[in-house]
Amino acid sequence: MPTTRRTYVCGIQNHSQVAGAFDRHGWSASKLWNVALYYARQQWDETGEIPDEGEFKHELKTHAKYKELHSHSSQKVLEELSEAFSSWFGSDGDRDNPPGYRKCNYYDSDGNRVHEEHPRSTVTWEKGIRHDTKHDRIRLSKGKAHRDGREFILCEYETPPAVELENIQQVRAVSNSIKSRLELHVVCETEITAESPGENTAGVDLGICNPAAVAFPDDALLYPGDTLREDKHYFQREEYQTEGPQSESTVGT
């Protein structure tokens, strides 16, 4: 049976108990983003090129900030930065800016920096997830630097009406700026009930470098392959934008 992935926005019932742990993980994610961005700008100045996702992971996997999170969570931060650069390079807008540091500086009346804050980044888990369906709880592995006697964050969640979480593939801890609290964006793989086909069918031969050929019983058409690539890039960019601290994830339908 065919499947699809859907994202459900879940409330955190024991928010006061887990907010501190999520806050520390979000801080670490922002610090790792800044470390990777600093490295990228160094390489840009020296070589004229921006590191790709593979180089980010290879060069920073031994960095202290990388180790503060679960390894897969750190990888997602670096993937997000790499995608942000790709989106910037692919943009045709003159007013678009490259990825920036995730920090806010505060200065005194003489222009001296007196304080620095780091907006908390979204933290993503794809491994280290355990789901207690009986008690509606999700257990998320902590990064090594945050295991203060416990190796996991135990969240009691509340799903949207008529939703049951099954086959969890990913969990994101996202800050909802409107509600001023965290929420869980849970990605589940769900089965799709296949509908019976009608009398007419279409055959599609997809291509990226070449056009896509679509054949109907009585007709045929070509779909430009470069447009397929542009569509793929657009939807990837939109997906990453939902993970920002000021954005809400889109619930799959």
Residue 105 belongs to a domain: no
| Predicted local distance difference test score (pLDDT) of residue 165 | 95
Helix (H), strand (E), coil (C) string for the chain: CCEEEEEEEEEECCHHHHHHHHHHHHHHHHHHHHHHHHHHHHHHHHHCCCCCHHHHHHHHCCCHHHHCCCHHHHHHHHHHHHHHHHHHHHCCCCCCCCCCCCCEEEECCCCCEEEEECCCCCEEECCCEEEECCCCEEEEECCHHHCCCCCEEEEEEECCCCCCCCCEEEEEEEEECCCCEEEEEEEEEEECCCCCCCCCCCEEECCCCCCEEEECCCCEEEECHHHHHHHHHHHHHHHHHCCCCCCCCCCCC
Residue 122 belongs to a domain: yes
| Predicted local distance difference test score (pLDDT) of residue 247 | 43
Residue 123 belongs to a domain: yes
Residue 155 belongs to a domain: yes
Over residues 187-216, mean pLDDT: 70
Q: For 236-251, how does the pLDDT look when each residue is reduced to its tens digit (9 = 90+)?
A: 666 655 655 444 444 4
Q: For 44-95, how does the pLDDT look when each residue is reduced to its tens digit (9 = 90+)?
A: 999 999 999 999 999 999 999 999 999 999 999 999 999 999 988 887 766 6
Residue 207 scores a pLDDT above 60: no
| Predicted local distance difference test score (pLDDT) of residue 172 | 96
For the chain, the domain total comes to 1
Confidence of residue 227 (pLDDT cuts 50, 70, 90): low
How much of the chain, in percent, has pLDDT values that exceed 90? 53
Domain that holds residue 127: 3-93+115-194+227-241
pTM: 0.71
Q: For 136-192, how does the pLDDT look when each residue is reduced to its tens digit (9 = 90+)?
A: 999 999 988 898 777 899 999 999 999 999 999 999 999 988 888 999 999 999 888
Residue 207 belongs to a domain: no
One-letter amino acid for residue 102 of the chain:
R
- CA 239 vs. chain centroid, Å, equals 7
Over residues 206-221, mean pLDDT: 64
How much of the chain, in percent, has pLDDT values that exceed 70? 73
Residue 173 belongs to a domain: yes
Residue 108 belongs to a domain: no
Report the chain's mean pLDDT, rounded to a whole number.
83
Q: At what angle do helices 15-47 and 53-60 cross, to 10 degrees?
A: 110
| Predicted local distance difference test score (pLDDT) of residue 12 | 97
More confident residue, 220 or 62: 62
Over residues 4-21, mean pLDDT: 95
Confidence of residue 109 (pLDDT cuts 50, 70, 90): confident
Residue 174 belongs to a domain: yes
